[in-house]
Amino acid sequence: MKSVVILLMLLSVLSVSNAHAKRGAPAKVPAVMDGALEYRAPTSEMGCVEAWNTKSQKMVWRRQIYIVKYDVGLEKDVQDIFIDSLKLRGNVLIVTNERKSMYQLDLDSLNVKVLKGALIETK
């Protein structure tokens, strides 16, 4: 009987630890250079792209590419959807996230066009 109780306690501890598993930190996205501008996807601003002047080391602009809509019943960190790729194609920046949604950011107007996915990401 004592061994059954110990086994049940052990199983309950193991199942609780799995239920509270946290996701790892997102991978750092390599910046993209275009002349004196560097385009970045900071993990501190999910779904955003920033343009930085490399000479002055000042941010020129920040643009929200997509929004993540969270389910209040789930842990926030497991619902995060980070940018994982930036590619420069002429005068547009192609932004891809962990869901493989793709966006096109016009670097003149800063208008965002959805190529695949949605502007509001949900779990």
- Give pLDDT tens digits for 71-95: 898 888 889 999 999 999 999 999 9
Q: Which residue has the higher pLDDT, 10 or 62?
A: 62
Closest CA to 88 of 35, 50, 33: 33
Going from N- to C-terminal start, the domains of the chain cover: 2-122
Kindly tell me the burial class for residue 97, based on how many C-beta atoms sit within 10 Å of its own C-beta (0-12, 13-18, 19 or more). Answer: buried
User: pTM of this prediction?
Assistant: 0.78
- pLDDT (tens digit per residue) in 30-80: 999 999 999 999 999 999 999 999 999 999 999 999 999 998 988 888 899
Top CATH class of 2-122 equals: mainly beta
Q: For residue 19, is pLDDT > 70?
A: no
Over residues 104-118, the mean pLDDT reads 97
